[in-house]
Structure 1
Amino acid sequence: MARLTNKVAIITGAAQGMGASHAKKFIEEGAKVVLTDLNEEKGQALAAELGENALFIKHNVTSAEDWEAVVTRAERVFGQVNVLVNNAGITMAKSILQTTEEEYRRIVDINQVSVFLGMKTVIPFMQKAGGGSIVNISSMNGLVAGAIGYTDTKFAVRGMTKAAAMECANYGIRVNSVHPGVIATPMVVQEDTKAAVEEFSKHIPLKRVAQSEEVSNMVLFLASDEASYSTGSEFVVDGGMTAQ
């Protein structure tokens, strides 16, 4: 039997990159998936490609009202929601002296506040469903230092995951974080950054960047009942970078 049979999942930031990879993997494993993103064109195209068990909803993850609409519609179309993957996020590579207050608040809203809003909205639906799994995508920079703004918010995702896991354990809701390293997404391997990424990969213990599918396999495990005794934990997919 497929590993996500009878699961209804919401995946944010799912129009492309890792989110799209997670959505494809979930569909392959029997889930019904709501893909959300601001990129309506790519999101609709991917949902059409994935078939009748996929639904795209345009979604501003920083809006509480949007979150309520997404989860309500997901339940109306597919049934009780029992998986949430908080995947949406942005990067920023500026120094603290170059970063404006507006830029800082934007990355906090998208990378951190959206995770809070997603969990806050979905938990009552999961309580009604009798349990569920929340997977929050952090980063290896939620474990070790990186750029200002990005590092801060990814550490926050790690902390929120632990706090929510303790609060939700009595409800049968598991909450875990995933910490990818350098992943070969279109944003990372575009022409102007390709050479730098190849050079950086020489310093990764496994001597390569990861493919999106390798992160998706971890997310799939945590969403499935195979991870039934894992909650409040970090799952690292970084080729050994943070072990050095």
Structure 2
Amino acid sequence: MGRLMVIEGRKGAQDAKRGKVFTKVIREISTAARMGGGDPKGNPRLRLAMDKGLAVNMSRDVMERAIKKATGELEGVSYEEIRYEGYAPGGVAVIVDCLTDNKVRTVADVRHAFNKCGGNLGTDGSVSFMFKKQGVLGYGPGASEDAITEAAIECGADDIVIYPEDGAIEVLCAPEAFEAVKQGMLAAGFPPLQAEVTMRAENDIKVEGEVGQQVAKMLDMLEDLDDVQNVYSNADLGADAYQ
């Protein structure tokens, strides 16, 4: 999981998806500002959230309004962080991170997605031990493996992963080192296509056929929920999962 995917669709669907992305980013900016203050220089989580906003072409005015609402300068909504854990079909472990102003609504929506697709919502800690929080910087095909590896080592990265099937490269680091590694790679002339602190499974589970399609449907349903910020799983989906 976590690899970039290209999805084709109608403009209306793309616009709706873009709106959901904006909603998720604004909630993350608001929560980060409320918890750590409105100055991104002293708030790494807010800085990362604002970078996500810039990556989806969100204006700075929109981000500044979200920060002001979160810090009390403007009237706004307060969001609570909640994590749900459980299993999808095939024994696939799933983590769902949410930001919500209504816990009753959120847990009902998340449970519905699990139940509808043959999964089971578990208890806190039931699957999170299978995942590791990690900083990831992604580079596309054609990037220089040797040059990126050398720069990543200099910047303090923990590991470099090469995907021989398409030449993509990922630079991995500890969450607390993410900002330093990212800035170091930028200074070295290697801006990443994707940069985030995420949850990575220690081991993936291969799921194919009908089970793979059920898992893909469940992950999509969860991703589409307004209160859901991120969905993580250890599913290694087969090529037929989205047929």
TM range (shorter): under 0.3
Q: Higher Cα Rg: structure 1 or 2? A: 2
TM-score normalised by the chain length of structure 2: 0.28
Q: Which has the higher strand share?
A: 2
